[in-house]
Amino acid sequence: MDDLVTVDWLARRLDDPGMVVLDATYLPFEPDRDAAAEYRAGHIPGARFLDLATLADTTDPRPTMAPTLDQFTKRMAALGIRRDDRVILYDDSPHRTSARAWWVMRLFGVERLAILDGGVAAWRAAGQPLERGDSLPTPVPAERTGFVTRDDAAIRTLAQVRALVDDPVEQLVDARGAPRFSGAEADPRPGVASGHIPGSINLPYGRLFEPDGRWKKGDALAQLFESAGVDPARPLVFTCGSGITAAGLFFAAHLVGRDNAALYDGSWSEWGADPTTPKATA
């Protein structure tokens, strides 16, 4: 199964055994929208609501940190998902949050995993049907889900990123828009400084997509990394505001074969709030 699937591909396979479709919409800065209510108003038939906003370490004060193994396993058990299921993710978020769900699920060993190219907007545009209400899964016992470990090698901590400022053996790439990266625009979170991590480069996640909302591919996607100044010889660490859109860069790097990558999960919401970390502007 490819990392991106089309509407036609998914429409033909909705009823396949072991197929799980998940709505991974997350709307962190859209106070007038409710992801759960929108899911109930119309979703891909049979899709389950992942509730990505709460699929996080609820014991950690930092926003949307990756869940623990126990937290993840309990959510998958409640959704009736096993490690060997074939999982298709989609969203209806301006932040393309299915990429964050893809990154989280990869942490716990889900391998048969893909994103619906263009999300639910492409599904609607193709005239495919939507289903109202809740698609109620059949829960499975947590011990039968098959999730036994979390791959922390794909996560970078504050201490590890501090070390990269002095010894940049891995290249930091920031997914935020240029005004926030440069410091020209204030951070939306109270108490968080403006600017970026010294030595990081900027590749706004919005550039990853075609005008119709589908992912760029092949040479067009590889050219984005080259034009941004990404060094092909160095491993990559992606960052953003709170680890959400950085996952879009992580997924894009995977699409072009750059799997020597990790994600700084605390991102700028942690770095910018810490008075002891260096900040760069311009």
Predicted pLDDT at 102 = 98
Predicted pLDDT at 131 = 97
Q: pLDDT per residue over 149-162, tens digit each?
A: 999 999 999 999 99
Catalytic annotation present for 57:
no
**Distance separating alpha carbons of residues 27 and 49, to the nearest angstrom:** 14
In the structure, what pLDDT confidence band is assigned to residue 16 with cuts at 50, 70 and 90? very high
Largest CA distance in the chain: 54
pLDDT at 104 over 70: yes
Predicted pLDDT at 194 = 96
Q: pLDDT per residue over 220-256, tens digit each?
A: 999 999 999 999 889 999 999 999 999 999 999 999 9
Q: Where in the chain is the domain with CATH 3.40.250.10?
A: 4-150, 153-271
Residues in the chain, total: 282
pLDDT at 69 over 70: yes
Q: pLDDT per residue over 82-97, tens digit each?
A: 999 999 999 999 999 9
Q: Tell me which of 47, 240, 244, 252 is the catalytic residue.
A: 240
Kindly report the average pLDDT of the chain as a whole number.
Answer: 96
Predicted pLDDT at 282 = 84
Name residue, tokens 């999730």: 147
Rounded mean pLDDT of 211-228? 96
Q: pLDDT per residue over 161-208, tens digit each?
A: 999 999 999 999 999 999 999 999 999 999 999 999 999 999 999 999
> Is 77 in contact with 141 (CB distance < 8 Å)?
yes
Return the exposure string of 164-198: e unless at least 16 CB atoms fall within 10 Å of the residue's CB, then b: beeeeebbbbbbbbeebbbbeeebeeeebbbbbbe
Percent of the chain topping pLDDT 90? 96
Name which CATH class applies to 4-150.
alpha beta
Q: Which CATH number fits domain 153-271: 3.40.50.740, 3.40.50.2000, 3.40.250.10, 2.30.42.10?
A: 3.40.250.10
Q: pLDDT per residue over 113-146, tens digit each?
A: 999 999 999 999 999 999 999 988 999 999 999 9
Q: DSSP states of 77-127 as a string?
A: HHHT--TTSEEEEE---TT-THHHHHHHHHHTT--SEEEETTHHHHHHHTT
pLDDT at 1 over 80: no
